Amino acid sequence: MPGFFHFLPTTRDSIVDNRKLKHSALPPGLRSVLSDCITVPDECLVTEARSLPDGTAGSGVCIYPKGKAEDPLDWKMNLNHQTWIKTVDRWIGWETDRPPAPEDLQRKKIFSDYTVKDAEQRLWSIPCARSGNPAAGSLPAAYVFGDNNGSVTTEVLEDYQALWALSADVMDFFSDRTERDLVWQIASALECLRLNYRIDRAEINALHHLGLTLLTRETVPGILLCLIDHDLMQEAAEAESKKKASESKRLEVQSSQNVLHGQQADTVATDLPEVLSK
């Protein structure tokens, strides 16, 4: 099934150069959505339109990102079968009788550690960036050797460092070390979704327009908790707490036994050297 497609009031030559999409010429939101679409028409199709998406006179280009199981080579604007809405920086459209599903909006590579359900109970994959188990995080990383002692450090690759940094902020937020407002939480949840899906603020609004609301009071905290593998971290914290409690109890018992032994030694005069017992 097709995903979202986009209309810009510009020319094809202004956004395509040598069969490659010129991301710098795209609006910021669309630039993020199409970040994994490089070549034209292999990864996305750019066609000229003879009218605006509302049917009025005008011209522009339509951009159709290629999905996992669909070849868009024959696609073009068809207002008889498509619905379009105008957003801040572009028009967004979809097949009227086939609105996009999560799998239609997936990027070429996804990180599926957890899932959350939208208003229609559809599953969306969420990456785990940071975990109590160092091996559990899914962000691509490199192992780097130290200079002298043969130590090894893990470095998240540059393209994923922003999400890695965000996961630290999310961890601080849920640990009550920092305060964050609701807008920050919603924007952070969207950043998590962007890694796996070709969506931005305009696409979130389009999904809501379709009755397929994705960011809600339930899903936003759920997405953020998935990002930091909260369940595993909670288990690790509880295990550490139990370990500390057990160690503390052991020390208390040991201390109590030492006191008892000391009392016994004080009363056993025959155990002392003769010179001290006088």
Q: Are 25 and 5 in contact (CB under 8 A)?
A: no
**Res 222 pLDDT > 90:** yes
Which one has a higher pLDDT value, 265 or 73? 73
Q: Which single residue is written with the structure tokens 């094809």?
A: 12
Average pLDDT over residues 243-253: 60
Domain ranges in the chain? Answer: 5-99, 105-228, 232-268
Q: List, for residues 138-149, the tens digit of each pLDDT value.
A: 899 998 888 877
Burial classification of residue 111, based on how many CB atoms lie within 10 Å of its CB (0-12 exposed, 13-18 middle, 19 or more buried): buried
Q: Report the mean per-residue pLDDT for the chain.
A: 83
What is the DSSP code (8-state) at residue 229? Answer: T
Q: How far apart are CA 147 and CA 88, in angstroms?
A: 51
Q: How far apart are CA 62 and CA 149, in angstroms?
A: 56
Q: What is the pTM of this model?
A: 0.80
Asked if residue 99 has a cis previous peptide bond (ω within 30° of 0), the answer is: no
**Res 245 pLDDT > 90:** no
Q: List, for residues 69-125, the tens digit of each pLDDT value.
A: 555 555 788 899 999 999 999 999 999 999 999 999 999 899 988 999 998 899 999
